Amino acid sequence: MTPHWLPVLIAIPIAGGVLAPVFSRRTASVWGLGVLAATLGVALGLTGLLADGVISYPMGGWPVPFGIELRFDVLSAFATAVALISALAIWFSSGSQGRVTSPEGIAVLLLCAGGMVGFLLAADYFTLFVFLEILSISAYGMVAMSDERGAGIAAFRYLLMGAAASIVILLSVGLLYTLTGSLNMGDVRLRLPDGGLPLYLALGGFTAGFLLKAAAFPLHVWLPDAHATAPSAVSAILSGLVVKMGVIGLLRTPGLDQLHELLLWIGAASLLGGALFALVQDDLKRLLAYSTVSNIGLIVLGLALHRTGATIHILNHAVVKAALFLAAGAFIHRAGSRALEGIGRSMPVTTAAFAVGAMAVIGIPPTAGFTGKWLVTLGALHAGRPVFAVILLLSSLILALCYARFLVALAFRPARADIREAPVRMLVPILLLVALSLVLGLVGGRLAEFVGF
């Protein structure tokens, strides 16, 4: 009976998204929250059942590898984070006049969540591609929902680059099919040829496409504008969840081990590049966006050096970065602009939450960001490549100084008298995510056991 829940898990948010436009502005958020709560419930239930092994569902009863297969494995458990963070983003925006909580906004947001859930459950490369398109196109739409100047251009640029990545990935899927005669992930792995140009083209295509979707340096150029201009709740989803689909796609790529050296250097470049660009940002959301590039670097480095560490960091960074973007949204909401000097004094709770989140994203032990950083450092030393451990630690040092500089502007400048603490509907999601990040930081041992590559 259990496997039938797999298509249900995908169908809930997608159907919810399709139905969302029939609701009124007042009821749409409630609908969105309900749909995501149901998604979260099913995803949590399936995650609980993972102890008994990976859950597989052959669509329409066609046996694997001939039919379409859905699989719920450790990576698919990320669907819980997808549902939770999307729901908190809606809660955060509820009651505001922004487009996020309009019926269309909720529809796009739910479709994006559904695309991500489908992407996580897909067990063949074509289905993977289809859901990647669903989530990407809704993501372009979410960026365009912003009222900020330049949001349209940012969204369009994101669309162009994302579409290029999609085409490359689709071509690679085709190439892989001609090489192996199969699209099922498990089956492809068995039939993969030992080498040859076509194979390397396919692998290269997957890697380039997914690295672009993940915004790894130097393919990150679309990210800062898109994440900084999008509404903050959307930024939380984009930075926390959507870019993670790129690295999860890499984890699903066959023959990833052959790209060891490339991943090392791309990861290192991302780590340092992201941190250095973050250093010169004056805008909080751009700082957060570049710190995402840096953290993606950590994950990509981890793909080569310590896959468990990378996988744990996918989850931990999602929670932490979502909290930070929501906190930034609360600051901007109260300040009425991007000028945030001295605002922290009038918003002590949000500031404290932001500070804890910043510690986590830097990777100060024992917060959530530390586990991945520690494991990848160990991996680098174990592999006899200490230079990557040094790059990793250096970049988190640079990030620490970026966040410190911002916290000074926030909390150690003259207070702004006209500002009050963020409203409860914003505070609760932020505090929930921060609390969750503290818990995740303390249970690193358990997480590693769960991931267990």
Contact residues: other proteins, CB under 8 A:
308, 359, 364-366, 370-371, 374-375, 377-378, 381-382, 389-390, 393-394, 396-397, 400-401, 404-405, 408, 411-413, 441-446, 448-449
Nearer to other proteins, 331 or 374 (CB): 374
Distance (Å, rounded) from C-alpha 336 to C-alpha 340?
Answer: 9
Taking the complex as a whole, the smallest distance from the CB of residue 197 to other proteins amounts, in Å, to 39
Taking the complex as a whole, the smallest distance from the CB of residue 370 to other proteins amounts, in Å, to 7
Nearer to other proteins, 32 or 441 (CB): 441
Nearer to other proteins, 141 or 369 (CB): 369
Nearer to other proteins, 208 or 268 (CB): 268
Token code pair at residue 102: 């309009």
Taking the complex as a whole, the smallest distance from the CB of residue 4 to other proteins amounts, in Å, to 35
Taking the complex as a whole, the smallest distance from the CB of residue 371 to other proteins amounts, in Å, to 6
Nearer to other proteins, 62 or 453 (CB): 453
Taking the complex as a whole, the smallest distance from the CB of residue 409 to other proteins amounts, in Å, to 10
Nearer to other proteins, 262 or 352 (CB): 352
Nearer to other proteins, 122 or 402 (CB): 402
Taking the complex as a whole, the smallest distance from the CB of residue 363 to other proteins amounts, in Å, to 9
Taking the complex as a whole, the smallest distance from the CB of residue 448 to other proteins amounts, in Å, to 4
Taking the complex as a whole, the smallest distance from the CB of residue 410 to other proteins amounts, in Å, to 12
Nearer to other proteins, 166 or 377 (CB): 377
Taking the complex as a whole, the smallest distance from the CB of residue 224 to other proteins amounts, in Å, to 25
SS (H, E, C) the chain: CHHHHHHHHHHHHHHHHHHHHHCCHHHHHHHHHHHHHHHHHHHHHHHHHHHHCCEEEEHHHCCCCCCCEEEECCHHHHHHHHHHHHHHHHHHHCCCCCHHHCHHHHHHHHHHHHHHHHHHHECEHHHHHHHHHHHHHHHHHHHHCCCCCCHHHHHHHHHHHHHHHHHHHHHHHHHHHHHHCCCEHHHHHHHCCCCCHHHHHHHHHHHHHHHHHHCCCCCCCCHHHHHHHCCHHHHHHHHHHHHHHHHHHHHHCCCHHHHHHHHHHHHHHHHHHHHHHHHCCCCHHHHHHHHHHHHHHHHHHHHHHCHHHHHHHHHHHHHHHHHHHHHHHHHHHHHCCCCCCCHHHCCHHHHHHHHHHHHHHHCCCCCHHHHHHHHHHHHHHHCCCHHHHHHHHHHHHHHHHHHHHHHHHHHCCCCCCCCCCCCHHHHHHHHHHHHHHHHHHHCHHHHHHHHCC
Nearer to other proteins, 304 or 389 (CB): 389
The helix/strand/coil state of 174 is helix
Taking the complex as a whole, the smallest distance from the CB of residue 267 to other proteins amounts, in Å, to 17
Nearer to other proteins, 117 or 268 (CB): 268
